[in-house]
Structure 1
Amino acid sequence: MSLPPINPDKTASGIALDPQTLERVIPESRRPDGTVRKQIKIRPGFTPQEDVRRFRGTKQAQQDANALPKGHIIGWTPPPSSQASSSAAKPMSKSAKKNAKRRENKKEDKKESVADDWEDDDDEPTTAAGVTAAPQSSAAETERKKVPRSSTGSAHTAESPNWAEAPDDGALASELEKLQVK
């Protein structure tokens, strides 16, 4: 005879088999304040309300057993997994090898097209072909350019203005006049 499990399975109401006496009991437990609840014996044949199952007739039980899983689409079958293993075993044709190389080259080109310095993208927008497009100024862009760029740490020049080091005094004065209370 095998020994009963150390941590027996519990029902919804907490009833488990005592490993020593093989009786149904609610095992002792510890309360939040640190005291211990005593083990409670359950009379043979007693089933608490939490453990009572809902009655299902024979036809209903059979229907539940034959039911499709939730979200299943009728008529849909998963693709066979053996196809992937068989394609790996076959050698690729000349055109398939050529297409695979083209895909790899496209992936490499996409990786190279991503710029490392994101701030350069703000100054000179480029087209898909990599040609520098004419800068288009809008009100939102001019406001964005006025934001201080202290993270660059570069000096203020005409080509790359650093608004943190050389703010526009005229615009700053007009902003201060707007803020003054009269």
Structure 2
Amino acid sequence: MSRPPINPEKSVAGIALDPQTLERVIPESRRPDGTVRKQIKIRPGFTPQEDVRRFRGTKQAQMDSSALPKGHIIGWAPPPKSTAPPAGSEGKALSKSAKKNAKRKEKREKEKVEAEAVPDNWDDEDEETKPAPPAATADKASFEQTPAPPAADDSNAADTTDSVLADDLEKLKVK
């Protein structure tokens, strides 16, 4: 047999099941002046008036479950909810605090993106004021090849762009 919970649920009248004795009791409580009310035992089978449910016949219960909410108009369906607000009404619909929160959220997202950005050259952070050595600029220039300007023939231009991208991908592959 499983044990009852330490903090049992109370009925509307305040009756709970005592975990030690498994009897129905009204637990002790503290009065506003600081004194303590004693715990009251409830006779088996007794149900106080507050806990008695209103009798509903089967047809009445069925009617209650299928009843429409108050103020409902038969045949009316609410408009579909869209996730995006309509254009133009975005600034008017937001309250002052909602606008502030939106700005804060955008700022946090922007800072997060900036923090996640990986620099091309880690040495640049340490030596921001000093000019970079010529070897580093040569490496960077060879890495960042710009495609030749497109010629009059469009198919040739697409081929050169694809070849440059393929060369860059080969350089980035880990072997």
Tell me the TM-score normalised to structure 1 length.
Answer: 0.41
RCO greater where, 1 or 2, for CA within 8 Å and sep 6 or more? 2
More helix by share: 2
Tell me the TM-score normalised to structure 2 length.
Answer: 0.43
